[in-house]
Chain A
């Protein structure tokens, strides 16, 4: 159906390492969004992608909208302790449907 498959479910990394997570779907999306949720807070928008193939950076974050419009990845370079949280991908399908969310990737950073 309209499900977003997000992987990995969780990650434990050392401070300073790079991180990569991705979302895939069998459906074509018009827009991809990446959110971060810290404990006790609501999700905060990190990056928005609007065009197939688009590569966008926001500080140490880089995200790309897949050419097929069915996937997206998020990379975090040189991770730091404050990167801890749950990262959600989300996307808009064509047609009159609200935003679809992945189940999240839980990131833990070991200092």
Chain B
């Protein structure tokens, strides 16, 4: 079956531009998570969605970061006015519920020049 997919796989942008990263979770998974991973580092939690509940945005590093999940499926992470420190791999994961194992996508590698 299809796993979690993310697009694009790589994104190079100029400082100050906006970027959108997309995540397609596993069909039927109600929970969706975004993480950020800087080079050689662990996973930094950004935001998660569970069903129709209000998302937990506690991990978003600034108001330049936002995410939406439309129709309980696809999610888009938007970074406005990108900065060089935003360069990282952005990972998406989904699970059947909040307390179930998370399955990860391959990530989007963002480079801000």
CB distance from B82 to the nearest CB of A (A): 22
Residues of B within 8 A of A92 (CB): 99
> In the complex, are the beta carbons of B101 and A33 less than 8 A apart?
yes
A45 touches B103 (CB 8 A): yes
Contact A88 B33 (CB under 8 A): no
Please classify how large the interface on chain B is, using the bins under 10, 10 to 19, 20 to 34, 35 or more.
Answer: 20 to 34
- Residues of B within 8 Å of A43, CB to CB, are 43, 91, 104
Q: Which of A31, A35, A41 contacts B106 (CB 8 A)?
A: A41
- CB atoms of B106 and A44 under 8 A apart: no
CB distance from A110 to the nearest CB of B (A): 19
Q: Take A104-B42, A106-B40 as given contacts and tell me if A42 and B101 are in contact as well, using a CB distance cutoff of 8 Å.
A: no
B106 surroundings in chain A (CB, below 8 A): 40-42
- Please give the distance in Å from B2's CB to the nearest CB on chain A: 14
- What separation, in Å, do the CA atoms of A43 and B41 have in the docked complex? 13
* B56 adjacent to chain A (CB < 8 Å): yes
Q: 0/1 per residue, A94-105, Cβ < 8 Å to B? A: 001011011110
Q: Contacting A88 at CB < 8 Å: which of B4, B42, B101?
A: B42
8 A Cβ contacts from B56-77 to A: 56
Q: Which residues of A contact B43 (CB under 8 A)?
A: 43, 88, 101
Known contacts A44-B104, A88-B42; A96 and B98 CB within 8 A of each other: yes
Question: Would you give the shortest CB distance from B76 to chain A, in whole angstroms?
Answer: 18
B44 CB, min distance to chain A CBs, angstroms = 9
10 sampled A-B residue pairs with Cβ under 8 A: A33-B102, A42-B104, A43-B43, A92-B99, A98-B48, A99-B102, A101-B42, A101-B43, A102-B42, A103-B42
Extra inter-chain contacts (9) besides given A98-B33, A101-B45, CB under 8 Å: A42-B105, A42-B107, A43-B104, A45-B102, A45-B103, A96-B98, A99-B33, A101-B42, A101-B43
